[in-house]
Structure 1
């Protein structure tokens, strides 16, 4: 569990706070996405959790323990941290990069090697193919996977992610989002993630926190946030297509009907937004599902209402 209580950060010489009196809780085993415009305090808030930035006031509690009363170096060894630039050591192999935290924790070589192989497999990188490569020999998506593997190597209960997929091309971004989300849910990690992408926040967060000028404006589950923005700022930031974004939160099977429809079926992971897009592309009012039955336009409208 992560709990922020009145968390505040004011930089020396600044006229206002970069983060102002934020109180927020992320229950154990869940994820919260921080969104907001540039300069809203998202990354500063994230770095206050692992004390890369020291707060001016307030508290950070992790599993009920006050992070400000712990040694910051020891604290960070038990918090995974993934950033957009990945930050891999260029002169080290993939295996050596992933083994960084286990080494700092004093694990013996046999245990560390086994854990490196395990987490590389978790993120879809074969140890036999990738362990000895250097970062410059990897694609952007592969480097990001190594960054996630490194963050998970010490088996931390808490994971912080700062624009983790920002450097990945759009074609691979959604796939990587899905894979990481599946992995984190399987492992039961408590996750705080910063993103500027509203759709990504809705996919990754069990809850979403909207920040403006360092203050928390709204904190709610994705569907509630999209359906009932707290004010005009939140509504404007989420965009005029938030109804379509909301459809992307539900699996296509949520609007399943026992009827037939022509054409190729939607894959099991398809959302209602995907189904609607297929209807528009095919010029039809229904598309079949891989598990049987079909999604109809009327069913989507009923569910949206």
Structure 2
């Protein structure tokens, strides 16, 4: 669990706080995405959690422990950290990069080797193929996977992700999001994610926190946030297509009705997927692989709920 209680940061000489009196809880095994305009305090907040930036005031607890009283280096070694630039050591092999934290923690060599193989496989990188390579021999998406593997190598309970997929192209980004989402659900880590991308926020975050000028504008489950913005600022920031964003969070199968003709969508398709297929095919219903079909009327009903 991550608990921020009145967390505040004011830079020397600044007239206002970069982050002001921020109170936010991320329950154990869940993820929260921080979004907001540039300069809203997202990355400053994230970096206060592992004390790369020291708070000016307030309290910070990680799994019930006072993180502000812990040794900062010990704290950072207990928290996984994934950044957009990845930050791999260029002259080390991929295996050596992934082993960074376990080595600092003093793990035995055999345990480190086994863990490196495990997390590379978890992130979709065959250890036999990638372990001996250097970072320059990998694509951008592969390097980002290595960054995730390195953050997971020490088996930290908490994971911080700062614009983790911002440097890869949209196709690779979508695929990485899906794989990381699957991984996070399987491993049950407590995750705080900074992103400027609303699609990414609602896809990866069980909850979404919107920041404005260093203050919390709204914190809610993704679907609730999209359905009921707290004020005009949040509504404008989320955009006029937030109803479509919300449909992407609603699985189609539970509202499936009578069968329809045509190629079926995947059983795990969302209502947004179903609507997109209807528009592409010029029909008012599409079948699902698991049985039944989704009608346009059913999509509209859920959109108004």
Shorter-chain-normalised TM-score: which range?
A: over 0.9
2:50 equivalent to 1:38: no
**How far apart, CA to CA, are the structure 1 residues paired with 2:223 and 2:34?**
15
Equivalence for 2:69: 69
Instruction: State whether residues 251 and 271 of structure 1, in contact with CA within 8 Å, keep that contact through their aligned partners in structure 2.
Output: yes
Per-residue CA deviations over 1:117-174 (Å, capped at 9, x if unaligned) read 0000101110000001111111111111100000000000000000111112111212
Equivalence for 2:278: 279
How far residue 64 of structure 1 moved from its aligned partner, in angstroms, is 0.6
For structure 2, the 5+ residue unaligned runs are none
**How far apart, CA to CA, are the structure 2 residues paired with 1:60 and 1:80?**
17
2:131 equivalent to 1:137: no
Equivalence for 2:238: 238
How far residue 299 of structure 1 moved from its aligned partner, in angstroms, is 1.0
Equivalence for 1:294: 293
Instruction: State whether residues 2 and 63 of structure 1, in contact with CA within 8 Å, keep that contact through their aligned partners in structure 2.
Output: yes
Equivalence for 1:4: 4
**How far apart, CA to CA, are the structure 2 residues paired with 1:290 and 1:164?**
33
Equivalence for 2:222: 222
How far residue 113 of structure 1 moved from its aligned partner, in angstroms, is 0.3
How far residue 112 of structure 1 moved from its aligned partner, in angstroms, is 0.1
SS of equivalent residue, structure 1 residue 11: coil
Tell me how large the CA RMSD over aligned residues is: 0.8
Mean Cα deviation higher: 3-12 or 170-179? 170-179
Equivalence for 1:47: 47
SS of equivalent residue, structure 1 residue 219: strand
How far residue 269 of structure 1 moved from its aligned partner, in angstroms, is 3.3
Q: TM-score, normalised by structure 1?
A: 0.98
SS of equivalent residue, structure 1 residue 68: coil
How far residue 255 of structure 1 moved from its aligned partner, in angstroms, is 2.4
How far residue 260 of structure 1 moved from its aligned partner, in angstroms, is 2.4
Equivalence for 2:264: 265
**How far apart, CA to CA, are the structure 2 residues paired with 1:116 and 1:268?**
34
How far residue 214 of structure 1 moved from its aligned partner, in angstroms, is 0.4
Mean Cα deviation higher: 263-272 or 71-80? 263-272
SS of equivalent residue, structure 1 residue 69: coil
Per-residue CA deviations over 1:57-79 (Å, capped at 9, x if unaligned) read 01110011111100000100000
SS of equivalent residue, structure 2 residue 92: coil
For structure 1, the 5+ residue unaligned runs are none
**How far apart, CA to CA, are the structure 1 residues paired with 2:108 and 2:237?**
49
Q: TM-score, normalised by structure 2?
A: 0.98
Mean Cα deviation higher: 40-49 or 133-142? 133-142
SS of equivalent residue, structure 2 residue 82: strand
Q: After the TM superposition, which segments of 4 or more aligned residues of structure 1 sit over 6 Å from their partners? A: none
Q: How does 1:1-305 map to 2 (within 5 A)?
A: 1-257=1-257, 259-305=258-304
How far residue 244 of structure 1 moved from its aligned partner, in angstroms, is 0.5
How far residue 267 of structure 1 moved from its aligned partner, in angstroms, is 1.7
How far residue 106 of structure 1 moved from its aligned partner, in angstroms, is 0.2
Q: How many residues get paired?
A: 304
Instruction: State whether residues 253 and 268 of structure 2, in contact with CA within 8 Å, keep that contact through their aligned partners in structure 1.
Output: no
Per-residue CA deviations over 1:254-304 (Å, capped at 9, x if unaligned) read 3211x2222211123321111101100100001111111111111111222
**How far apart, CA to CA, are the structure 1 residues paired with 2:261 and 2:172?**
29
Instruction: State whether residues 31 and 190 of structure 2, in contact with CA within 8 Å, keep that contact through their aligned partners in structure 1.
Output: yes
**How far apart, CA to CA, are the structure 1 residues paired with 2:255 and 2:166?**
32
Per-residue CA deviations over 1:91-112 (Å, capped at 9, x if unaligned) read 1111000000000000111100
**How far apart, CA to CA, are the structure 2 residues paired with 1:112 and 1:301?**
52
